[in-house]
Amino acid sequence: MEYLIDFLDNEAVEDCKIYEHLKCSQNEAKLLQMMTKEYVLGSVDVSVSEILIKLFGDKNYEHLQQLSLVKDLIEQGWIVQNSFLASRIIDVSNLELLNSTVTLSSAFLKLLEEGTLEVILPDVTPYADHLEYLKDQFFRIELYQKFSHTKHNATENSPSTGRIKNKLDLLESRISERIKVTQNEIVVESIFKENELTPKEQLIFLALLKEEYAGEFESLRDMNTLISLISFDDYEKIKNRSLLEEGSRLIENLIIDYDEMLSTFGGVTRSFFISEEILQKIMHPNKEKKSKKIKLDMLIGEQEVFELIDPKTNLDDVVLHPKTREILDSLLKQIDKNVVKLLREWGVKEKRSGIDAKIILYGPPGTGKTMTALSLAKSMKKRVLSFDCSKILSKYVGESEKNVRSIFDTYKELCKKTKSEPLLLLNEADQFLSSRSVDASSGADKMHNQMQNIFLEQIEKFDGLLIATTNLLETIDPAFSRRFDYKIAFEKPDLKQRLELWKKLLPELATYEKGFDIEKLATYPLSGGQIRLIVKNTALKVAIKLKPIFCFEDFKLAIDREAKGAFGDVKSVGFMN
């Protein structure tokens, strides 16, 4: 306790042994000395006004003139404020500090006890195993967290910021030296080398790895926190966002991934995590290496059941009835991070996030059922495995029951091999869902009933997100209806929705005749799919004109042909079912 006693007994604070480490004024040191005397007598928290009056007196309000000393010492990290003002000390006026309480910081107490704040590191020795290495790296991340916090709550060149920076430099130098003399493979370092990760990318990875070992829920996982960790100022924050966006090395190389969740204010936030394969490789380095994660694209060509779709639109691109949109928004709240957290704590949900639901979208052709399903998948960052149910009988005559089961078996196999959970889309599922024949006397009726029973069984056992689209809901067997969580109607658009559809689908860069009236086009009772097809066919016609100008009559001709069924067998091409 020699440094503590020296500090308490020395009237000339500038002669104290620890004064050179304080880097503060004599008056600030005297204030610290007074607070230290109170501390050893049992007063941990002291009133700012009382300690200033005790030290400087209140004649002519002298103690008020010294309030800046308190703020300076807080910014330097020698004392800590015990109030809500602590989180915004930079914006706090001196007078706001007057009636608050403060206490000596842990850094100052350590200085009093040891006489220095320098980190004493052991001799350079090889890392015995990866856990010893991770212990140093996780301590390094803790220092970066403190450094990030200090940057926001202290001046740029404050002593507290400098002390943390010195610790970081020493630790990083020591980690580097220990890695050089370590003969055994360090899995994390091998990952860094194989993927040519930059120092900032390495820090992001280590921060996420620390979260995995700590078992905490999204303390260090969101984008803003990770970016703040590796950025010195606002300019760097903007620049470093690219490290966590699509196309970045960490995501492109399947090193990390993310879940998208709804924030409290309705926006979408990203929660990052290390991919399962990489995590297992680090946590269990002595186990046999598992096969590399296979992408869906590599397997989709080996089977004939599904079409793989990467959705291009989100729900904002779809014109929906307000009630339908309300249901879908409610459905998306299943990925709200607070909801997910509660469900995980209750043991109801094991996954990080995602929707577990079976949904029927029903309504006339062209009302946007398929587009909505794809847009929902896009909102959840999911790919889509689509199956056209109308082919189940025509393509597999005599083997329908077998191939109903094959839909779900193939889906599960693809999920297992790729370690992914795409949305399963069953388009035109009318025959699967229609009422079963009570008196199945013919072979066809028996086959149909058997096919539906198998489908019912598979729906019951399905785990994930499944969407079935159908044109008719009236004929759906009640047994199927009960097993779907959501039944969402899609009706033909009204005038307002048709107007919005025309505005979305008409080419923005095209030239239109003078007085062209979109509202007049919207008066025709067309579905979204029909409007899309009419725009496409009209554009092809206008493009070959000598003067490619869109006229109302061009659209009118296409609308009349559609109304009269002049498109014949190709009428369904381009429709959104």
CATH no. of 2-114: 1.10.10
| Mean of pLDDT values over 407-416 | 88
pTM exceeding the 0.85 threshold for the entire prediction: no
d(CA 389, CA 30): 83
CA geometry: angle 524, 527, 528, nearest 5 deg: 115
Q: Band of the pLDDT at 10, cuts 50, 70, 90?
A: confident
Contact 333, 353 (CB under 8 A): no
The string of pLDDT tens digits covering residues 394-409 is 444 456 677 788 888 9
Contact 404, 341 (CB under 8 A): no
DSSP β-bridge partners for residue 386: 307, 425
Q: Band of the pLDDT at 535, cuts 50, 70, 90?
A: very high
CA separation, residue 208 to residues 67, 142, 146, 227 (Å): 42, 12, 16, 12
Report whether pLDDT(563) > 70: yes
The string of pLDDT tens digits covering residues 291-302 is 444 677 778 877
Domain coordinates of the chain in residue numbers? 2-114, 130-283, 296-489, 495-570
Q: Band of the pLDDT at 355, cuts 50, 70, 90?
A: low
Alpha helices in 197-254 (DSSP H): 199-214, 223-230, 234-240, 249-252
d(CA 504, CA 528): 11
Fold equal for 296-489 and 495-570: no
Burial class of residue 97, CB neighbours in 10 A (0-12, 13-18, 19+)? buried
The string of pLDDT tens digits covering residues 175-194 is 999 999 999 889 999 999 99
CA separation, residue 363 to residues 100, 435, 492, 577 (Å): 65, 17, 8, 9
Of residues 220 and 383, more confidently modeled: 383
Q: What is the share, in percent, of the chain residues with pLDDT greater than 90?
A: 22
Q: How far is CA 314 from the centre of its chain?
A: 16
What's the mean pLDDT when you consider all of the chain?
A: 81
> Nearest-CA neighbor of 434 among 380, 381, 471?
471
CATH no. of 495-570: 1.10.8.60
Angle, helices 67-76 vs 26-40, to 10°: value is: 80
Give the least confident one: 229-238, 538-547, 567-576.
Answer: 567-576
State the pLDDT at residue 548. 92
| Mean of pLDDT values over 127-137 | 89
Give the least confident one: 89-98, 231-240, 552-561.
Answer: 89-98
CATH no. of 296-489: 3.40.50.300
State the pLDDT at residue 345. 73
Angle, helices 223-230 vs 130-153, to 10°: value is: 90
Report the run of H or E that residue 423 belongs to, with start and end: strand 423-427
